[in-house]
Amino acid sequence: MQTVRRSVTHNLVELIGHSIAEGSYGPGSVIDLEALRKEQGVSRTALREALRVLRAKNLLTARPNVGTTILATEQWNLLDPELLGWLQGTSLGEQLAQDASNFAELLRSNPGLAANPFVAQALAAVTGFNP
C-alpha cells in the first residue's frame, strides 16, 4: 500500500484553514505570521504559499502596514470543496447544509424550474453538498 505524503504547504493550508473555519480566528483578526511560522517550524516560503492558497479561497487578505487579516464569512468562497470540508460540524456548515436542502426542495417542487438545464445543474451541485 502506497502512502501519500502531503507537502508542508498543504499541511499549513489545512491547519490555518480549519482554524479559521472553526472560528479560532474571528473576522478582522490579524494573524501573527512570525509566531505561527515558529510554532509550526516551517519556512517563510511554505507559509507564504499557504497564505496564497487561503487568499484564493477569500478567507484572508494581506495589506501593507496592517498584516494578514481574516475576512468576514460573507466574503469566503463557500463553493470551495476544501472549505466546505473544514466547515463540517460548525454552525455555519450546518446552516449551509440546511440552506442547500431548502434550495433543493424548492427546485424539486417546481417542475418548470427543474426542467431548465442550468437549474438541474445547480440542483446536482447543491444536493452533492452534505456537511
Percent of the chain residues past pLDDT 90, beyond the cut = 50
3 domain-assigned: no
- Residue-wise DSSP of 96-125: HHHHHHHHHHHHHT-HHHHTSHHHHHHHHH
25 & 68 share domain: yes
Q: Tell me the mean pLDDT in the region 40-53.
A: 94
Residues 25 and 59 in one domain: yes
33 within some domain: yes
Statement to judge: residues 116 and 62 lie in one domain = no
Mean pLDDT confidence for 90-106: 84
CB atoms within 10 A of CB 12: 22
Q: Residue 44 to residues 20, 28, 76, 81, 85: CA-CA distances in angstroms? A: 20, 23, 24, 26, 26
Range of the domain at 69: 8-75
Q: Looking at the structure, do residues 51 and 13 belong to the same domain, yes or no?
A: yes
Quote the pLDDT of residue 44.
Answer: 93
- In whole numbers, what is the pLDDT of the chain averaged over residues? 85
pLDDT, position 125: 67
Tell me which of 115 and 71 has the higher pLDDT.
Answer: 71
Does 111 reside within a domain?
A: yes
Predicted local confidence at residue 80, as pLDDT: 87
**Residue range 99-116: mean pLDDT, rounded:** 79
Same domain, yes or no: 93 and 62: no
pLDDT for 127 equals 63
pLDDT exceeds cutoff 70 at 130: no
pLDDT above 70 (res 126)? no
13 and 39 belong to one structural domain: yes
Residue 30 binned pLDDT confidence (cut-offs 50, 70, 90): very high
Q: Note if the pTM is more than 0.85.
A: no
pLDDT (0 to 100) of residue 5: 52
